[in-house]
Amino acid sequence: MANNGNNGEEYTLAECDTLIKKGNKEKDKANYVKALEYYTVAREMALSKNWDRQLFNSLFCTGFSYYSMFDYGEALHFFLDAYNIAVKNKWHEQELECLNNIANIYARQKMYEKAIEYYTKAYKGAKDKNIESHIWLPQMNLGYIYNRMNKPEKARPYLLESTKHLEGHFLASSKVLLIENDLLLGDVVKARKGAWDLYNNEPNAAEMGLDIFLWTIISKSYLKENNYSQAIVFAKRALNRNPDLEFKKNVFVLLSDIYEKSGSYKDALRFKDSILVTEHELTERNNGRVFENNRVKFEIQDYKNQIYVKEQKLASERRVFYAIIVIICATVIIIVLIFRQKKMIAECSRNIIELHLEKEKNYNLKLERKVTKALLEQERLNEEIENKNKKLSSRALYLSDRNEIIEEIVAYLSKKPKLAKDQTLVNHVNSLKAYLRTDNEWDNFIKHFEEVNQGFMSRLKELHQDLSVNDIRFIAYIYMGLSVKEIATVLNITLAASKKRKERLSAKMNISKEVDLYSYISSI
């Protein structure tokens, strides 16, 4: 662990700045672990002395180191802390740098909506505060994100504008993104020409690592034209530049797609295997960095603990003493409260049980009354239906007897020729014959039957649609409880015919011989 050189004595602002500079040198050499050690010591100094500028620098550089070590969670934490200090002190440029780096973290993690949010904040903040040097980089980054989201129409205005103002490496990067944008918009020839022009006109393309992106764009342009051989050539050219593992994996994916579309499935599978190997290497690399990050965090925490123990020993002892007293008092209070609470709970439980039993008892009594009332009502309705059915059957028998008597009278008078000459008597005979017409009587009967036995006829017809009017009439008499003999009398047929009709109806309705017809229709 880096030492501040004072061993707990007073330190100066210059010493704190020196530690940050040492950390920056180690960071530039990619020796992030050593850099973090210097930044941590500087941060502790700045915190103890309330040096906001040094605290900001140490936090920002720590965040950048973790970002370079792919520990994005820690990087985000430190960038946010640095951002809050910049906002508090109204350091607008530093505030914008933090926003841009926070957006970079979200972009790396492919959380593009969040990246857009923070790039937009940085871009608008720079425009509102007229800090021109910080306007164009977030603008270019917005174009990059929209390219990644395959929204080239949204990306293009940002890329065109940023290309006008950026310089050096950032300008070259913006041009690459603009060429990629041409490809995404479907202008294949323009994209390929732009890639070649930039490669030929940019002397430091290879040194800046831009040639890898340009070969990839050219390869993709040939792939879109189904020129698989050229697509393979330039994809392999990008691969031969030995890019980092992330980019190498993307090139393997591109080569796998090219071979698959060209029908070379064996080669496609070979590169899919390469993708898996690269992903494994990435995992191992990340695991190694996680271990290294954790080791650094452990050492940093250990250093903090040493300082804390050294500076806070007496205060800690006092806190322990007070804590013991508080714990004893709290324990006594808790025990008293527990016993009191248990007593209250027991009383409440007893009251609740009593109330519950009383409520359940009252509920059961109400339920019993409702059931009794319902049963009585059901019994009353059944008796009412039975009485009405008896009246209907009595009327049916009455009509049958009346018709029988009328028929006998008409038959008797018809055998007396002398009486046929008596016009008055003939009119009376015709009146008697009119009473024998049963259609209206049957209609009235059905109407009253339906009123008494609501829905029965509908259910019967729904179950047995092939029943005739006479069948339904016969079934209605059975449902009312008339015997076969009584039905024979009502219908003016013989007893044998009545029995035969009953058997025929059972067969027509597919009723088993073991089931009585009356029992069946009563269940409908």
DSSP string, 136-184: HHHHHHHHHHHHHTT-HHHHHHHHHHHHHH--HHHHHHHHHHHHHHHHH
- Tokens at residue 338, please? 């527990």
Domain membership flag for residue 507: yes
Q: What is the pLDDT of residue 8?
A: 43
Instruction: Name the residue range of residue 455's domain.
Output: 392-522
Domain membership flag for residue 398: yes
User: Of 233, 263, 293, at which residue does a domain stop?
Assistant: 263
Domain membership flag for residue 489: yes
Taking CA atoms, 215 is separated from 161, 338, 407, 512, in Å, by 25, 75, 115, 87
Q: What angle do CA 71, 75, 79 make, to 5 degrees?
A: 175
Q: Please give the full DSSP string across 272-302, using - where no structure is assigned.
A: HHHHHHHHHHHHHHHHHHHHHHHHHHHHHHH
Q: Which distant-in-sequence residues (6+ apart) come within 8 Å of 457 by Cβ?
A: 446, 449, 450, 472, 476
Q: What is the pLDDT of residue 397?
A: 64
Closest-CA residue to 36 (of 296, 303, 291): 296
Token match 């040097």: residue? 133
Closest-CA residue to 173 (of 185, 186, 187, 158): 158
| Structural domain total, the chain | 2
Domain membership flag for residue 486: yes
- Are 198 and 182 in contact by the 8 Å Cβ rule? The answer is no
- Are 60 and 98 in contact by the 8 Å Cβ rule? The answer is yes
User: Of 237, 263, 289, at which residue does a domain stop?
Assistant: 263
Q: Which distant-in-sequence residues (6+ apart) come within 8 Å of 235 by Cβ?
A: 215, 216, 219, 251, 254, 255, 258
- How many other C-beta atoms can be found within 10 angstroms of the C-beta atom of residue 98? 27
User: Of 221, 236, 263, at which residue does a domain stop?
Assistant: 263
Q: Which distant-in-sequence residues (6+ apart) come within 8 Å of 271 by Cβ?
A: 252, 253, 255, 256, 259
- Are 456 and 479 in contact by the 8 Å Cβ rule? The answer is yes
Count H helices and E strands in the chain, helices first: 22, 0
- Are 261 and 249 in contact by the 8 Å Cβ rule? The answer is no
Token match 């019994």: residue? 379
Domain membership flag for residue 205: yes
H or E element that contains 453: none
* Residues in the chain, total: 524
Closest-CA residue to 261 (of 218, 216, 227): 227
Domain membership flag for residue 216: yes
Domain membership flag for residue 327: no
H or E element that contains 111: none
- Tokens at residue 302, please? 């250990």
Q: What is the pLDDT of residue 121?
A: 93
Q: Distance of alpha carbon 476 from its chain centroid, rounded?
A: 59
Q: What angle do CA 192, 197, 198 make, to 5 degrees?
A: 100
Q: What is the pLDDT of residue 16?
A: 93
Give the C-alpha separation, 486 to 475, whole Å.
13
Domain membership flag for residue 106: no
* φ, ψ at 446 (rounded to 5°): -60, -40
Category of 167 on φ-ψ map: left (φ > 0), alpha (ψ -120 to 50) or beta: beta
Q: Please give the full DSSP string across 468-503, using - where no structure is assigned.
A: -HHHHHHHHHHHTT--HHHHHHHHT--HHHHHHHHH
Q: Which distant-in-sequence residues (6+ apart) come within 8 Å of 62 by Cβ?
A: 36, 39, 40, 43, 78
Taking CA atoms, 153 is separated from 111, 122, 284, in Å, by 20, 21, 38
Note the helical H segments in 185-226: 188-201, 210-224
Q: Would you give per-residue pLDDT tens digits along the chain (524 residues)?
A: 455 544 444 678 999 999 999 999 999 998 988 999 899 999 989 998 999 999 999 999 999 999 988 889 999 999 999 999 999 999 999 999 999 999 999 999 999 999 999 999 999 999 998 888 888 999 999 999 999 999 999 999 999 999 998 888 889 999 999 999 999 999 999 999 999 999 888 888 778 888 889 999 999 999 999 999 998 999 898 888 877 778 888 888 988 899 889 888 888 888 888 888 888 887 777 665 555 555 566 566 555 556 656 666 767 777 888 888 988 998 999 999 988 888 888 888 888 888 888 888 888 888 888 888 878 877 777 677 667 666 766 666 666 667 667 767 777 777 777 666 677 777 777 776 666 555 566 666 777 777 778 888 889 889 999 998 889 989 988 888 888 888 888 887 889 999 999 999 999 999 888 888 888 988 88
- How many other C-beta atoms can be found within 10 angstroms of the C-beta atom of residue 188? 18
Name all contacts of 211-215 with Cβ < 8 Å and 24+ positions apart.
211/238, 211/241, 212/238, 212/241, 212/243, 212/247, 213/176, 213/180, 213/238, 214/176, 214/179, 215/241
- How many other C-beta atoms can be found within 10 angstroms of the C-beta atom of residue 83? 24
Taking CA atoms, 101 is separated from 107, 167, 214, 237, 486, in Å, by 10, 19, 25, 32, 102
